[in-house]
Amino acid sequence: MIVRSSAISEDTGEESKAGMYESVLHVRGEQGVNDAVERVIASYGERQTAEDEVFIQPMLRDVALSGVLFTMDPNTGGNYYVVNYDDKTGSTSSVTSGSGTDLKIFYQFKGYGGATGFPILDKVIGAAEEIAEHFRSQALDIEFAVSANQEVYILQVRPLVMKRVCKDIARQEAILKRTARYIRKSLGKKPYIFGDRPVYGVMPDWNPAEIVGVRPKPLALSLYKNLVTDGTWAYQRDNYGYKDLRSFPLIIDFAGLPYIDARVSFNSFIPKSIETDLADKLVNYYLNQLIEHPEMHDKVEFEIIFSCYTFDLRERVEVLRKYGFSQEECRMLTESLRDLTNRIIDMSNGLWTADASKIDILKRRHQEIMSSDLSRIGKVYWLLEDCRRYGTLPFAGLARAGFVAVQMLKSFVSCGVFSQEEYHGYIASLNTVSTNMTEDFAQLRKEAFLNKYGHLRPGMYDICSPRYDEAPDRYFNWENARNTALYGREFRVTVSQLEHIRTLLKEVDLSDDVLSLFKFLKGAIEGREYSKFVFSKNVSDALVMIGEIGSECGFAKEELSYMDIEIWKGLYNSEKDVGDSIGKSIAQGKERHQDTLGFTMPPVITKPDDCYYFHLDDASPNFITLNKAAGPVCFETDSELEGSILMIPSADPGYDWIFSKNIAGFITKYGGANSHMSIRAGELSLPAVVGAGEKLYNRIAQAEYLELDCALKKVEVIK
C-alpha cells in the first residue's frame, strides 16, 4: 500500500503545500499501515484539524512511466499541457521529489487537436482533458502513472496555483497558426540560397538566447538585430572569404522569440571558391546533422560544420565520406578552407588588422560625438550608426579571426603540440579585457576604475540593466579590492614546440612563419575581447541618452524597454513629436511582448508542428516564474541566506525551510519543471532555476554574485 496525506490545509486555491506532509510508500500489513498513518498524521504538526484525512491506496506495480501534468504553464500563463515524466526508473515519486536525474519534459499547446506521435502521452493528456472538463477548471496539477500495459492511473489532482493570468487561448492559437504557416512556407528550396529546408535554433550562430535572452524585450531585440544580425554579420562573412549572404536577416522572431535561421547561417560558412553542387551538398549535410542532433544547436561550429582550416582538418573531414561525399569533394573543401584560413591569418594582407584599426577609429569618433553640440537624438543616432560601421562590423571580423585562432590552438592539442594544460595556460597568458579588469580592480582607485569600466552592464542591450557606474556597490566589494590576487600569466613556447608547429605548417601548406602565427593567435583573441569592450561603450551611452530623453517625456526605463530602436532614425531625420513616437512604439511593443511571455517553444524548430508540441532538450534548465532576482551566491551551510541566490543539489521537499529565509532565488542541480520545489517557487513567485544540470550548476557555483532573469532564461554571473 501507499499512505499519503490529505490535510484540509493542502491543495487550496492559494497554495498547494506540495510535498510538505509525509507519504509512506511500500507499506505492508496491518501494523505497517497503522504505523504509516501515524507518521502521516504526525507530519501535520500543529496544523492538524478534525477535517484532516489520510489516503490509503494500493501501491502500483510495473510502472512504465510516471510524472506530473499541469494543464496550464504556471510560469507563463500559456495554454500548454506541461508533462514532466520519468520513463526510466519505475518510480512514482522521482518527479515530485525532484530526485530524478533523467526526467523528460513535454509541452503540447491546448489548441492542437492532432496526434503527437507519442501515444502514451496522448492518452495521459486525454485523461487530463477529461478531468479538466469534470472540474470545470483550466488550471490543474495532476499526478499520474502508466502501467506496463499502458493503462493510465490518476494518483492525485489538485488546483494549480497560478500567479499569472491565463493567456487568451484564441489569441495564442492565432499567433501559433501564423508561426506554423511561416515555417511551412519556408520549407523547400529557395532562391539565392543552398539547402533543401530551413532549421531554426536559438543558438547556432550569434547566440541570441545567450546575448539577449529567450524572451527579450523589444528594445534589446531590435537593437541587437539593428547592430548585428540584420546585415552586419553577413558583410563580415563576405569580407573574410565566405559566400555572400547580404540582405538575408539572420534572426527570425516567432511570437517575439528570436531564432537563428540555420540554413542562412550554414550558407555563410561556405567558402566562396566552393562550387554550387558541393555547396548545396554541404549545407544539406549540416542541416541534417542539426536535425539529428538538436542538442548540438549551441555548438554547431565545433561539432557539425567546417568553417576554417586546422591542423587536424584532413582527419576530421573524413566523417563526410560516411555521408556520400567523395574523396575529391573532401579535398576541394579542405583546400578551400586552407586558402581562406591563410588569408585570415596572414599578417601582411591586413584583413583582421584592418578591423582592429577600425576600433581605434570608433574610440576617436565616440569622443567627437559626445563632445559635439549635436542634439541628444542626434548623438543616439550617430553612436549607433558608428557602432555598426566601426564597432560591430570589425568586431564580427575579429570574432571570426578569434574563432579561427581558438580552433587552431585546439588542434595543437589534438596533434600533440600542446597538452590540455598548456592550451589553458596559453589562453590564461593573454591580456584580455577580463584579465586586465581584474588587475585594474586591485590597483586602481574606485573613481579611476569606474571611469574605465563604468559603461559596462551585465545585459549589454538591456536598458534596465544598471551600468557599473550606476550601481557600483552592487557589483563590487571595494573593501577587498586591494586583496585581489594577481597571478603571473607568462607562457613560453619551447623550441621543440616551435619546430613541431613549423613542420605542421609546411605539411599542410599554411604560412610557415611561426612567429607571425603566434602574433595572429594573440592579436585575434585579444582583439575580439577588446573590440567588444570598446563598441559596448557606444551602445551603453546611447541607452543612457535614450533613458534621459524618455524620462523627459514621462517614460521610465522599464517602459522604454518596450520600444523599437528603429524609431530613432525617424526622430533624427524628421520633425516628429518625440513623446508621441516613443509612446506609440512602447504601446505596440508592450502588446507584442505580453504575447511573447505566454509562449514556450523548443530550442530547435525543424517543422511546423514543433511550435505546437515538443520535448525540451534534456540539458535545458527549468526557469521558474518570469521574474528577476540578484544576490550573492550562498549554500545551505552558510549562516546568512537572506537576499541570496541559494545553491542546493536537488529539489527535495526537505528544503522547504529555505522559504523562511527570505532568499532572493535558488538554483538546483537536479529537478524538473513539475517537482515540488518548482511548484513552491511558482506559488511564491520566487525566481528559480530547477535542474540546471552538472555543467551549468558547477560553473555558476564558483561565482560570488548572480542575476537570474527567468523570462529571458538567463543566469548572469555578475562577479
202-237 residue pLDDT tens: 888 888 887 888 899 999 999 999 999 999 999 999
pLDDT of the residue at 579: 96
pLDDT of the residue at 99: 59
C-alpha cell at 453: 569600466
SS3 assignment, position 48: coil
The DSSP call for residue 27 is: -
pLDDT of the residue at 489: 64
pTM: 0.85
Residue ranges in 295-375 assigned as alpha helix (H): 300-303, 313-316, 327-345, 351-371
C-alpha cell at 173: 492559437
pLDDT of the residue at 655: 63
The average pLDDT across 329-342 equals 94
- What are the DSSP calls for 218-256, one per residue? HHHHHHHIIIIITTHHHHHHHHTTB---TT--SEEEETT
pLDDT of the residue at 528: 86
Whether 676 is catalytic is yes
693-699: long-range pairs with CB below 8 Å, 24+: 693/619, 693/621, 693/669, 694/669, 695/619, 696/621, 697/647, 697/667, 697/668, 697/669
Distance, CA of 273 to CA of 244 (rounded, Å): 12
The average pLDDT across 500-529 equals 86
pLDDT tens digit string along 678-695? Answer: 666 765 678 888 877 655
Residue with C-alpha cell 572569404?
A: 241
Out of 84-98, 305-319, 376-390, 544-558, pick the least confident: 84-98
pLDDT of the residue at 75: 85
Q: Is 692:708 a contact under the CB 8 Å cutoff?
A: no
Ordered strands of the 665-668 beta sheet: 622-624, 688-690, 665-668, 645-648, 628-635, 705-709, 714-717
pLDDT of the residue at 509: 80
pLDDT of the residue at 625: 78
Distance, CA of 230 to CA of 250 (rounded, Å): 6
pLDDT of the residue at 97: 64
Residue of 297, 366, 500, 676 with catalytic role: 676
Phi then psi for residue 316, to 5 deg, are -65, -35
pLDDT, mean over the chain: 88
pLDDT tens digit string along 158-200? Answer: 898 887 889 999 999 999 999 999 999 999 999 999 999 999 9
Identify the burial level of 558 via C-beta atoms within 10 angstroms of its C-beta, where 0-12 means exposed, 13-18 middle and 19 or more buried.
Answer: exposed
pLDDT value at 90 more than 90: no
pLDDT tens digit string along 287-313? Answer: 999 999 987 887 788 889 999 998 889
Residue with C-alpha cell 586591494?
A: 482
The DSSP call for residue 59 is: P
Binned at pLDDT 50, 70 and 90, residue 676 comes out as low
Binned at pLDDT 50, 70 and 90, residue 98 comes out as low
If DSSP states are collapsed to H, E and C, what string results for 617-646?
Answer: CCCCCEEECCCEEEEEEEECCCCCCCCCEE
The helix or strand, by DSSP H or E, that contains position 615, with its residue range, turns out to be: strand 613-615
pLDDT of the residue at 149: 92
The average pLDDT across 50-61 equals 89
pLDDT of the residue at 302: 82
The average pLDDT across 597-619 equals 89
Task: Count other C-beta atoms under 10 Å from residue 349's C-beta.
Answer: 12
Binned at pLDDT 50, 70 and 90, residue 673 comes out as low
Q: Is 645:37 a contact under the CB 8 Å cutoff?
A: no
pLDDT of the residue at 389: 94
Binned at pLDDT 50, 70 and 90, residue 627 comes out as confident
pLDDT of the residue at 638: 81
pLDDT value at 252 more than 80: yes
Q: Is 46:192 a contact under the CB 8 Å cutoff?
A: no
> Domain coordinates of the chain in residue numbers?
1-59, 65-168, 172-342, 351-541, 546-596, 619-717
pLDDT tens digit string along 384-434? Answer: 999 999 999 999 999 899 889 988 888 898 889 998 778 877 877 888 787
The residue ranking higher by pLDDT, 30 or 511, is 30
Homologous superfamily of 619-717: Phosphohistidine domain (3.50.30.10)
pLDDT of the residue at 660: 60
SS3 assignment, position 200: strand
Share of the chain above pLDDT 90, in %: 54
pLDDT value at 47 more than 70: yes
pLDDT of the residue at 695: 58
pLDDT value at 29 more than 90: yes
pLDDT tens digit string along 261-275? Answer: 999 999 999 999 999
pLDDT value at 708 more than 80: yes
- What are the DSSP calls for 64-97, one per residue? EEEEEEESS-TTT--SEEEEEEESSS--SSTTTS
Distance, CA of 457 to CA of 219 (rounded, Å): 15
**CATH fold of 65-168, please?**
D-amino Acid Aminotransferase; Chain A, domain 1 (3.30.470)
pLDDT of the residue at 508: 82
Distance, CA of 708 to CA of 715 (rounded, Å): 5
Binned at pLDDT 50, 70 and 90, residue 640 comes out as confident
pLDDT value at 516 more than 90: no
pLDDT of the residue at 710: 86
| Bridge partners, residue 24, by sequence | 3
Q: What's the one-letter identity of residue 495?
A: V
